[in-house]
Structure 1
Amino acid sequence: MIFGCHLSIKDGYLGAAKQAYSMNAGAFQYFPKNPRSLSVKDFNHHDAALCKAFCKEKSILSVSHSPYPTSLTPINEQKRNQVIQSLLNDLEISEACGSIGVVVHFGKEVSHLPLLESYQLIIEMLNEILSEWEGNAKILLENNPGLPGTFGTTLEELVQVRKLCEAPEKIGFCFDTCHAFSCGLWDGENVGILLEKGTELGYLDELKVVHFNNSKYDTRLGKDRHAPIFGPGYIRETQFDQLVKSPQFANIPFILETPKEEIPHEKEIQLLQEKWGDHLS
């Protein structure tokens, strides 16, 4: 299994890759730029190239995560243009670092629009961005947290949006375990249904990364509060075991976004490897 965590780029992209290696991680996630800004970053191409080469040499996978203000359902034209340029910048940085792609939250329902128009807006945004993108790095749509039935919480929505885009081959998926638990998409007991549906819809064929997080709240409460994998979270170790050992998740990086102040990520990765590191799906 491939385990990693989110890391800072305060020492550059190569610095993050070296930190992942020092932690004995097989993967890492990073913000390509300031996580609170949609500004376009004039990044260090040499540093990114060194990161790509280092990861290739050490067999480390990487993925970036778009900044917090990124939204595929922008509320006005100014925000729309900012998001488009920012995501193209994120894709460029991800490509330069040799990353799988950039994780992007699915989007939120726009309150003053009919529901269908919110989905159409996501598709329009993806079409405009990807019409200008020719690299290998993909946009990785992440499932939303929320109460059952909340916008962006089902595999059907994710798959259908991808299918309706003009360049679906440039889009993959990121599965967040805490988000799925919060809405009951995966409640810890229905892994068979999840895998059957994911296979039937083609979702698992395009799954590129897992955000591996426990939950501080019980399933179907709509709460998105991450907890360490091993500890007082509501997802039990035996339930994670079923997911991790599923053949459909083989060779996919499991990235921790757990609170590192509760358990340092280096220690948590060690625990993950002791538990599941030798498992071959």
Structure 2
Amino acid sequence: MIFGCHVSIRNGYLGAAKRAEAYGAAAFQYFPKNPRSLSIKDFDRGDAGSCKEFCQEHGMVSVAHTPYSTSLTPSEDKKELTIASLLNDLEIADSCGSVGVIVHFGSQISKTDPLASYHLMLEMLNSVLSQWSGEALLLIENNAGTKGALGTTFEELVQIRNLADYPEKIGFCLDTCHMFASGLWNGENTEEFFAKGQELHYFKHLKIIHLNNSKYPTGSRKDRHANIFQNGLIKDEHLKDIVTSPILKQIPFVLETPDDEGITHREEIKQLYQKWG
């Protein structure tokens, strides 16, 4: 099993890798730059290279996550800035040896044209990836369904990748809280969940799993993460069915859970290895 968590880059990219390793993690996620800005970062390539070497030496997997304000369905005045920011994120991730950069599926932008959001997403993906030749992938994450968000079904996720000009540069990130909140998976339909994902070849391109419990019930469309073994509404046995599934073998599970609600990421990772590792 490969368990890890999100870590800060306040001590640089190598510092983030060392922090994750100290937590007992075999994988980690990080923001490549200020998570509240789309600004372009002139990053320390030596530090990024050292991060890559450290991960290779310790057998660790890393993945980057775009800043909060990144959207594949941006307003017209943010399109060029978003494209430049995504390319910057991909360059940083590639330099760190990361598997890719996670970005959320787009949101509804028109009340009259249901396809407008999908057209804009494809335009954005094609624009970014036509300019990208590195190894890091753009990893599209499923949504919880808040604020009319799209991207809550396997069909949408797979079809966007299939219709893009560069599908080989696109992978997926699956969030367990989001799939529970959206109703894609409710804990009781695990067999159907895996069957549908396999039928559509979704899992073939899945690279990272966000392992989170949920503070709200399934179908609520509320995105509030809870710790795995406390304060969450997803039952342990249901999460175990996901984590230990042979279909997801060798895919890293990265925590995005609260680390200030009675348990730290270090403790949570230890629990995961003891119970399911």
Q: TM-score, normalised by structure 1?
A: 0.96
1:48: which partner in 2?
Answer: 48
Q: Which moved more, 1:26-35 or 1:229-238?
A: 229-238
| Partner deviation per Cα, 1:154-204 (whole Å, 9 max, x = no partner) | 010000000000100000000000000001101011111111011110100
2:245: which partner in 1?
Answer: 246
Q: CA deviation at 1:112?
A: 4.7
Q: Which amino acid in 1 is paired with 2:191?
A: G
1:78-117 to 2 correspondences below 5 Å: 78-112=77-111, 114-117=113-116
Quick one: distance in 1 between partners of 2:250 and 2:46? 29
Are 2:7 and 1:7 equivalent residues in the alignment? yes
Residue-pair matches, total: 276
2:75: which partner in 1?
Answer: 75
| Partner deviation per Cα, 1:89-121 (whole Å, 9 max, x = no partner) | 000000000000000000101035511111011
Q: CA deviation at 1:232?
A: 2.3
Alignment RMSD (CA, Å): 1.2
2:212: which partner in 1?
Answer: 213
Quick one: distance in 2 between partners of 1:150 and 1:104? 14
| Partner deviation per Cα, 1:240-267 (whole Å, 9 max, x = no partner) | 1111111111101100000110121000
Quick one: distance in 2 between partners of 1:113 and 1:81? 25
2:201: which partner in 1?
Answer: 202
Quick one: distance in 2 between partners of 1:73 and 1:250? 32
Checking the alignment, whether the CA contact within 8 Å between 2:214 and 2:223 is kept in structure 1 is: yes
1:103-182 to 2 correspondences below 5 Å: 103-112=102-111, 114-146=113-145, 151-182=150-181
Say which SS state the counterpart of residue 261 (structure 1) adopts: coil
Say which SS state the counterpart of residue 3 (structure 2) adopts: strand
- 4+ runs of 1 displaced by more than 2 Å? none
Say which SS state the counterpart of residue 115 (structure 2) adopts: helix
**Where does structure 2 lack aligned partners over 5 or more consecutive residues?**
none
Q: CA deviation at 1:38?
A: 0.2
1:20: which partner in 2?
Answer: 20
Q: Which amino acid in 2 is paired with 1:156?
A: E
Quick one: distance in 2 between partners of 1:113 and 1:14? 48
Q: Which moved more, 1:150-159 or 1:61-70?
A: 150-159
1:269: which partner in 2?
Answer: 269
Q: CA deviation at 1:151?
A: 1.6
Quick one: distance in 2 between partners of 1:251 and 1:206? 13
2:191: which partner in 1?
Answer: 192
Seq. identity, %: 58
Checking the alignment, whether the CA contact within 8 Å between 2:5 and 2:29 is kept in structure 1 is: yes
Q: TM-score, normalised by structure 2?
A: 0.98
Quick one: distance in 2 between partners of 1:33 and 1:80? 19
1:53-68 to 2 correspondences below 5 Å: 53-68=53-68
2:256: which partner in 1?
Answer: 257
Quick one: distance in 1 between partners of 2:225 and 2:53? 32
**Where does structure 1 lack aligned partners over 5 or more consecutive residues?**
none
Are 2:230 and 1:231 equivalent residues in the alignment? yes
